[in-house]
């Protein structure tokens, strides 16, 4: 009758560095930074100098761009 813990593995979203995302998209890191600065691409800031983008957020961003064409 106590609280039951969920022991099933959860899907963990990978965190991508700006250079890694830029390489995957075939653009410059500056292009990614512009999207971050305008708020178009939400990020996770682990420390003041460690910024990451969730893989699912990046995929969603690309899907939105493709659907707007």
Domain range list for the chain? 15-67
| Through-space distance between the first and last CA atoms of the chain, rounded to whole angstroms | 54
Q: What is the pLDDT of residue 3?
A: 58
How much is the pTM?
0.78
User: What is d(CA 69, CA 66) in angstroms, rounded to the nearest whole number?
Assistant: 6
User: What is d(CA 50, CA 11) in angstroms, rounded to the nearest whole number?
Assistant: 23
Q: What is the pLDDT of residue 6?
A: 57
pLDDT at residue 49 above 80? Answer: yes
Mean pLDDT confidence for 36-63: 96
CATH fold, domain 15-67, is Multidrug-efflux Transporter Regulator; Chain: A; Domain 2 (1.10.1660)
């Amino acid at each position: 009758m106590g609280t039951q813990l969920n022991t099933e593995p959860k899907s963990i979203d990978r965190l991508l560095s700006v250079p890694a995302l830029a390489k995957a998209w075939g653009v410059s890191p500056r292009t990614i930074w512009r999207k971050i600065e305008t708020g178009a691409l939400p990020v996770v800031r682990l420390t003041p100098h460690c910024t990451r983008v969730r893989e699912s957020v990046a995929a969603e961003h690309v899907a939105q761009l493709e659907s707007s064409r």
